[in-house]
Amino acid sequence: MKILLTPGPVPVVKEIRNAQTKEMITHRSKEFSELYEDLCTRLKRYLSAEEAYVITGSGALGLETLVLNLCEKEEKVVCFPNGEFGEKLVETVKVYANPEAHTVEAGKGWNIERAKEAIDQSNAQVLAMVYNETGYGVRNHIKEICRYAKSKGMLTIIDGISAWPATELDMKEFGVDGFVTGSQKAIGAPPGMALLGISKEGVEKFTSREFIPSYYCDLRRHKKRYEKDRQTPNTPAISLFWALQKAFDLLDENGGLDACVKRHKNAAAHVRKRLNEMGFSIIAEPGFESNTITGFVCDSAKQAERIKVGLEKSFGIKIVSARGAYKDNGLRIAHMGNFKMSWLDSCLDAIEKIKKEGEE
């Protein structure tokens, strides 16, 4: 077997994979209503959301759904990109509203001290940023930032696609109005679903709008249909919904959110420790390290390539390059979803071996 240590799609355990193979049902049935109600009810509770929906589509479509429902055309949206996914969020906002982007250098994270002035001066109606910048493995301090932005009357949108459920989140406590994650990330289901949480203020915003610039992603339609009969306005990816239900079951059986966060945090610390011992430096600034993915810097682009190719060819282990400023000499190991610690050690042992061989 090939060990997949990539930041989503992550390996999907057999129980979840097999959940996709039930005999098909129609989405206009009591059976589907029960399935969807279970998913939304649990998701709402997990996130501390006012409402929760599962959208058939990539995580990116879920993020776009938040943006187009919560941001109006003439509104300003203050954004804090610090890597590729933060920049994609700015691109998405650009389609629907007016982004004002502030950046920090590659590997640095956003905290309230760094973001405060921009928030104060922006006069923005909305703040939008990523929780976990997958491209570098940097975790932004969204709790302090969102709470502050909300105290200024803004709505807050968080791309938590590669963060949840491996990183702390409580929408109410964190002051998050729109949250999205992807099914193929730390929850460990197959790709194809975006999981959304919306706060009370977020619901007030989209329900009070007269025009929302999408049909499929118009949350008024999702809300209306859910309230009618716990169904979706369009045909959902039913087999994937079964897989997600199984993934939620496993999350609950394995100790719930706290245990999941702890497992990821410990794995991340272990990976960083071993990489440091080998002499690699971590891309993320201390205090901003990701729970789900660790980016590290190689001596050269050549060494990075040798490690990546060597892992795949000689050990059957797949990791990926870093992005942006570190795309040539940086690599990333994901510890996301249903990984095993032994996989990480196999990967780290192999990196050590390849590194030494290169030095001989």
Please give the residue ranges that form the binding site for a copy of itself (CB under 8 A): 1-2, 4, 6, 8-12, 14, 17-18, 20-29, 56-61, 64, 88, 91-92, 95, 182, 184, 190-192, 213-216, 234-240, 243, 318, 320
Nearer to a copy of itself, 191 or 324 (CB): 191
Smallest separation, CB 101 to a copy of itself (Å): 15
Nearer to a copy of itself, 24 or 227 (CB): 24
Nearer to a copy of itself, 153 or 211 (CB): 211
Smallest separation, CB 29 to a copy of itself (Å): 8
d(CA 124, CA 195): 26
Cis, bond preceding 9 (omega within 30 deg of 0): yes
Nearer to a copy of itself, 165 or 192 (CB): 192
Smallest separation, CB 170 to a copy of itself (Å): 26
Whether the Cβ atoms of residue 273 and residue 251 lie closer than 8 Å to each other: no
Smallest separation, CB 161 to a copy of itself (Å): 9
322: region left, alpha or beta (phi > 0 left; psi from -120 to 50 alpha): beta
Q: What is the CB neighbour count within 10 angstroms for residue 247? A: 25
Nearer to a copy of itself, 57 or 175 (CB): 57
Task: Quickly list DSSP for 129-182.
Answer: EESEETTTTEE--HHHHHHHHHHTT-EEEEE-TTTTTSS---HHHHT-SEEEEE
Smallest separation, CB 189 to a copy of itself (Å): 9
User: Running DSSP on this structure, what letter comes out for residue 287?
Assistant: T
The radius of gyration computed from the CA coordinates of the chain, to the nearest angstrom, equals 20
Whether the Cβ atoms of residue 200 and residue 171 lie closer than 8 Å to each other: no
Smallest separation, CB 273 to a copy of itself (Å): 26
Nearer to a copy of itself, 68 or 145 (CB): 68
Q: Which amino acid is at 55?
A: I
Whether the Cβ atoms of residue 7 and residue 135 lie closer than 8 Å to each other: no
